[in-house]
Homo-oligomer: A and B are copies of this chain.
Amino acid sequence: MAKNSSKFATLGQQEADTADLESLVGYNLKRAYIIVEAHFREAVGKDGMSARVFSALSLTVSYPNITQIALARVMGIERSGLVAIVDELEAYGYLQRAPVPGDRRIQALVPTEEGLAAYNEALGLVRDKEERLLSDLTGVERQTLFALLKKIRRMEED
């Protein structure tokens, strides 16, 4: 079933496109993500936030007073893994763990002024970078890409 056994000697961009792997969604998704993530890092700069820290800040801005457990659920990670992320954002002074009257277990996450400013600046840079990265795609193509990715994400409920 190895279609390309004889092509090894001339292995290059074109030939590689015909390998089995290229017909799998997972491989293509991962390779595309690696590129987009690299552009994200370029956008936020050498000492910028990591994608997951940016995500956490973004969601805290969109949903102020969210609890850690709710944020972990939205992000799709374990609550234990979120601790370091929130620690980092708090150390930057980008958010605070605020006590919630009525339940002393919970600490609501609220972005600070600095956090909001840093977030908006980073968001602008990231949007611009993605804009340039996707400049080859038409408006319809972009909409389609988002629609298809969200359709896959909706499959989570199995």
Q: Is A155 engaged at the interface, CB distance under 8 Å to the other chain?
A: yes
Find chain B residues with CB under 8 A from A31 CB.
76, 149, 153
For A20, list chain B residues within 8 Å (CB): 58, 61-62, 123
Main secondary structure on A side of the interface with B: helix
Residues of B within 8 A of A21 (CB): 55, 58-59, 62
Query: Which residues from 44 to 59 on chain A have a C-beta closer than 8 Å to any C-beta of chain B?
Result: 51, 55, 58-59
With contacts A8-B63, A25-B146, A30-B51 known, what are 19 further pairs, Cβ within 8 A? A11-B70, A19-B59, A19-B62, A19-B63, A25-B133, A25-B134, A25-B145, A26-B39, A27-B51, A28-B149, A30-B33, A31-B76, A35-B155, A133-B152, A136-B151, A137-B148, A137-B151, A145-B145, A148-B148
B63, A153: Cβ atoms closer than 8 Å = no
User: A residues engaging B (CB < 8 A)?
Assistant: 1-5, 7-8, 11, 16-17, 19-21, 23-37, 39-40, 51, 55, 58-59, 61-66, 70, 74, 76, 116, 120, 123, 126-127, 130, 133-134, 136-137, 141, 144-146, 148-153, 155-156
Residues of B within 8 A of A3 (CB): 62
